[in-house]
């Protein structure tokens, strides 16, 4: 049987259409979500990524607020920009684009972000909410890539209850956070996290019903590592020189030959990347809706628990 291709572009388009309708409803209530970005320097990859975020905003009707700083901006100047967006009522969520200049601690910068405006879901307070709420009923911004992964799997009817999941890579944006979300009671998966200290990651992969690869090593997951019928989620990105075409190409962590063994897979590119961007917008719209729910009495009201999927 041919493996199911989990098309992130098509799924992200559906998410954006839903967000566009939610933005219209917010406008009828006198509210307009706003996404802010803080970009330091002119790294080509970062510039392209930020431009893509603002293009996404235009598609769904979200206000764009762009703050560009020179590459030699230091800690104090970046914090000043962060605090400015914290105080800006037009900004309901924002991100500080990484990497930052050498010598600037990104964790210290992230800690300055208003947790309610943390569009990446990476503020320590929001990560703590993931740890505390083992039932999955989290009302704070969620990490975008894990949220996008789980939304895409749920969209295709892939049930993870009681399943074995192997996560490759312990980075904060995916590896460490997706495990928290997968193991809450509403999803109920069993997770093995593999990293450079794991003696035999192959055995963990071969047991897994789902492999989430986020190590940034092209072709790391081979066909022999995959249990027949497993699902493959390819998050890692590497630039590899293509001798035949004479140019650099983007490659994922999963060897394309492994698709012959699995039941479903995400392409790379075109899989999780579009979902990550869509979930960034979702966090911004979620924040605007929370603000509207606070208006009648001026006091926070109990939110409807947000879905991790």
Q: Annotated catalytic sites, by residue? A: 53, 97, 120
Q: Which residues of 242-263 are buried (b: 16+ CB within 10 A; e: fewer)?
A: eeeeeeeeebbbbbeebbebbb
Q: Where are the beta strands (DSSP E) in the chain?
A: 4-5, 34-40, 63-69, 93-96, 164-168, 190-194, 210-213, 231-234, 238-242, 247-251, 264-265
Are 233 and 266 within 8 A, CB to CB? yes
Q: Which of 66, 82, 126 is nearest to 290 (CA)?
A: 126
Q: Which residues contact 100 (CB under 8 A, 6 or more apart)?
A: 40, 78, 106, 109
**Three-class DSSP category at 104:** coil
User: How far is 263 from 208, CA to CA, in rounded Å?
Assistant: 12
User: How far is 260 from 269, CA to CA, in rounded Å?
Assistant: 18
171 annotated as a binding-site residue: yes
Measured CA distances, 215 to 164, 169, 175, 262, 290 (Å): 19, 5, 9, 19, 35
237 annotated as a binding-site residue: yes
**Angle 280-90-23 (CA atoms, 0-180°, nearest 5)?**
55
What would the two tokens of residue 89 be? 């009522």
Q: Which of 39, 10, 38 is nearest to 151 (CA)?
A: 10
170 annotated as a binding-site residue: yes
The pair phi, psi for residue 232, each rounded to 5°, is -115, 120
The pair phi, psi for residue 152, each rounded to 5°, is -65, -40
Binding site residue list for NADP(+): 169-171, 237
């Amino acid at each position: 049987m041919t493996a199911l291709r989990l098309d992130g572009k098509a799924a992200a388009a559906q998410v954006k259409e839903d967000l566009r309708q939610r933005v219209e409803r917010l406008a009828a209530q006198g509210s307009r979500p706003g996404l802010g970005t803080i970009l330091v320097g002119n790294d080509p990859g970062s510039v392209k990524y930020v431009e893509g975020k603002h293009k996404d905003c235009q598609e769904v009707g979200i206000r764009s607020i762009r703050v560009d700083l020179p590459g030699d901006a230091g800690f104090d100047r970046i914090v000043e920009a962060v605090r400015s967006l914290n105080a800006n009522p037009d900004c309901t969520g924002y991100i500080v684009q990484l990497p930052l200049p050498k010598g600037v601690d990104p964790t210290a910068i992230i800690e300055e972000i208003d947790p309610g405006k943390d569009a990446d879901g990476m503020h320590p307070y929001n990560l703590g909410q993931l740890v505390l709420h083992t039932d999955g009923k989290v009302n704070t911004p969620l990490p975008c890539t894990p949220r996008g992964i789980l939304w895409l799997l749920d969209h295709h009817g892939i049930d993870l209850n009681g399943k074995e999941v192997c996560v490759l890579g312990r980075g904060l944006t995916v590896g460490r956070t997706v495990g928290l979300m997968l193991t809450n009671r509403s999803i109920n998966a069993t997770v093995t996290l593999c990293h450079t200290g794991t003696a035999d990651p192959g055995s963990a992969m071969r047991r897994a019903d789902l492999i989430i690869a986020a190590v940034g090593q092209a072709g790391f997951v081979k066909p022999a590592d995959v249990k027949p019928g497993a699902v493959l989620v390819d998050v890692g990105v590497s630039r590899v020189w293509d001798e035949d075409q004479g140019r650099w190409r983007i490659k994922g962590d999963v060897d394309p030959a492994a698709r012959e063994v699995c039941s479903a897979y995400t392409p790379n590119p075109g899989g999780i990347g579009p979902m990550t961007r869509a979930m960034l917008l979702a966090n911004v719209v979620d924040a605007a809706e929370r603000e509207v729910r606070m208006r009648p009495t001026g006091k926070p009201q109990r939110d409807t628990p947000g879905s991790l999927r």
